[in-house]
Amino acid sequence: MSDQAVNSEFFIKKVNEAKVHFERALDCKHTEFDDLYPYMIEHPQFFWYKRYVAWSELLTLADLCEELSFPWREEFTPQQVEYIEQRVMSAKVLDFWFENTDSKEHAQR
């Protein structure tokens, strides 16, 4: 296996992990961020900050994949790709990220 294939697999795996992290943050489920900052749970702005961190991680990995010409878009719905390309975590992203996703699937993650 070439280095390119290994790198592509690695980055696509990381994009998928970031996607799950963002989706768990959207659903207000436990993430690694909760373990890093357990005291933040007591603050009302915590969930917004948690979502922002997860969104930033997702954008960073999508950007890296884009620069390296790795096929990250296949891991998302067309609407989700559009949100990522627009880069802004708007209310539309928060409200409609799961619009085309089976709600049972993301609820079980």
What is the predicted pLDDT for the residue at 38?
A: 79
- Three-class SS of residue 40? helix
Return the number of other C-beta atoms located less than 10 Å from residue 65's C-beta.
20
Find where tokens 């627009």 sit.
86
* pLDDT band for position 108 (cuts 50, 70, 90): low
* pLDDT band for position 72 (cuts 50, 70, 90): very high
Helix 78-86 and helix 46-67, axial crossing angle in degrees, nearest 10: 100
Q: Does the pLDDT of residue 106 top 60, yes or no?
A: no
As a whole number of angstroms, the distance between CA 16 and CA 9 comes to 11
Structure-token pair, residue 79: 């609407």
What is the predicted pLDDT for the residue at 85?
A: 97
Find where tokens 């990250």 sit.
72
As a whole number of angstroms, the distance between CA 59 and CA 53 comes to 10
Q: Does the pLDDT of residue 103 top 50, yes or no?
A: no
User: Could you tell me how far CA 108 lies from the centroid of its own chain?
Assistant: 16
Residue count (the chain): 109
